[in-house]
Amino acid sequence: MTYKEIIEDNCQNNSEIDWWPKYAFHYTDVTNAVSILDEGYIYSRYDASEKSLMINDNASRQVIDMTYSGALSDVRFYFRPLTPTQYHNEGFKHPSLRYCGDLNANVPVPVFFMFDLNSILQLPETRFSGQSLAGFGVDVYSGEENFGKMDFRQIYKIGSMQNVELEKKYRQAEIIYPNAFSIKESLCNIVCRNDIERATLLNLLRRENKKAFMQYKDYIVVNKDCFENNGLYITQCNYYADRIAVAYSQTANKRNYTGKYRNATDSKLIVDACADLKWVHSSTVILHQRCKFALDYENRDNTIFTNICKPDGATALYMKIFFEEKLMCYVCWQLAESALL
């Protein structure tokens, strides 16, 4: 069977989510996503570090230490979203809730790059594994015959696991490509978790590289089904009259995750946050304000900033919000139209 035929068979017979087998998924933080779109390439972990392109370090140090060294020089993709790693590091997690206490195990604003899997597999440099490469003794393969032998029912399985240690490795099976991967030939979508995070990516990209913004803006979409939604994140930002209201995630998945990993002896899980506001006329900042505040990770009412006074001449208001110095949103209101960009 050809790659295309195997993929079609997986869509029909081996995956409960029938569109997953069509794609290769690259998972990263929104700040890294901007670097990828600016460069037009996804780099290996090694090369991204050498080029200072890895703004947010997504990976647990413990997982990296268990990963065979060759994979660190490869660009890595998953066969699916909703992997065990994503479960632990998606969204801002309070430091006491992170995987094995590893502060790097955190992707505050997750983004998926989705590529045509058949196109990637056709490249002669592409290899793949039937299980996660975060371990030892995992073989990598190439070619249609080896691809057809993989246990795709396990790779695409969802729901609870009977043999956790084994099944989680299948769910993190990988595709690897050496050194640097050009995104333009096989990119299908860039997927965000909600409208605010989509606006964040678009605004960051517009500021960084207007040409890349025009090239890729229509690829950037929202698909909530790719995400665990089990961390703290921003769901809405509204500016009206003289106030800004910020709303946060209150999902059942977040409550369940927190309850599972919270230390019963901990007091409130407090998050240090900061709002950065820039009032702009044309491209000139006429007033810059910063406001520090604290959040209760578990019980999160809206944050209301009051007495927001528009300075004379301001035509736009840009706002960034940071949790523990990690960017969580970047929105802009055109004041003449009160429009969120």
Residues 94-105: pLDDT tens digits? 999 998 878 888
Confidence at residue 104, expressed as pLDDT on a 0 to 100 scale: 82
Cβ-defined contacts of 183-187 (< 8 Å, 24+): 183/36, 183/37, 183/40, 183/41, 183/42, 183/113, 183/115, 184/40, 185/119, 186/115, 186/116, 186/119, 186/120, 187/113, 187/114, 187/115, 187/216, 187/219
- Residue 281 maps to which CATH number? 2.60.40
In this predicted model, which residue has the larger pLDDT, 204 or 337? 204
Amino acid, single-letter form, for residue 241: A
Residues 308 and 325 in one domain: yes
The whole-angstrom separation of Cα 207 and Cα 29 is: 17
Residues 176 and 236 in one domain: no
Confidence of residue 49 (pLDDT cuts 50, 70, 90): low
What average pLDDT score do residues 299-321 get? 92
Burial of 100 (0-12, 13-18, 19+ CB in 10 A): exposed
What average pLDDT score do residues 97-115 get? 90
Residue ending a domain, among 177, 196, 224, is 224
Confidence at residue 341, expressed as pLDDT on a 0 to 100 scale: 54
Confidence at residue 250, expressed as pLDDT on a 0 to 100 scale: 92
Residues 182 and 270 in one domain: no
Residues 200 and 107 in one domain: yes
H or E element at residue 24 = strand 23-29
Range of the domain at 96: 3-224
The whole-angstrom separation of Cα 229 and Cα 163 is: 24
Tokens at residue 98, please? 């992170």
Residues 109 and 245 in one domain: no
Residues 271 and 174 in one domain: no
- Give the SS3 label for residue 277: strand
Residues 123-135: pLDDT tens digits? 999 999 999 998 7
**Residue of 229, 244, 166, 245 whose CA lies nearest to 192:** 229
Confidence at residue 51, expressed as pLDDT on a 0 to 100 scale: 53
Residues 217 and 239 in one domain: no
Confidence at residue 73, expressed as pLDDT on a 0 to 100 scale: 83
pLDDT > 90? residue 84: yes
pLDDT > 50? residue 61: no
Residues 183-226: pLDDT tens digits? 999 999 999 999 999 999 999 999 999 999 999 999 999 999 99
pLDDT > 80? residue 40: yes
The whole-angstrom separation of Cα 72 and Cα 179 is: 9
Tokens at residue 136, please? 């030892």
137 DSSP β-pair partners: none
Residues 186 and 238 in one domain: no
Share the mean pLDDT of the chain: 90
Residues 62 and 106 in one domain: yes
pLDDT > 50? residue 66: no
The count of structural domains within the chain is 2
Residue ending a domain, among 205, 224, 243, is 224
Residue ending a domain, among 224, 245, 278, is 224
Strand order in the sheet with 303-305: 234-240, 243-248, 303-305
282 DSSP β-pair partners: none
pLDDT > 80? residue 19: yes
C-beta of residue 26 within 8 angstroms of C-beta of residue 94: no
Residues 240 and 217 in one domain: no
Residues 248 and 305 in one domain: yes
3-state helix, strand, coil in the chain (%, to 5): 35, 30, 35
Residues 237 and 206 in one domain: no
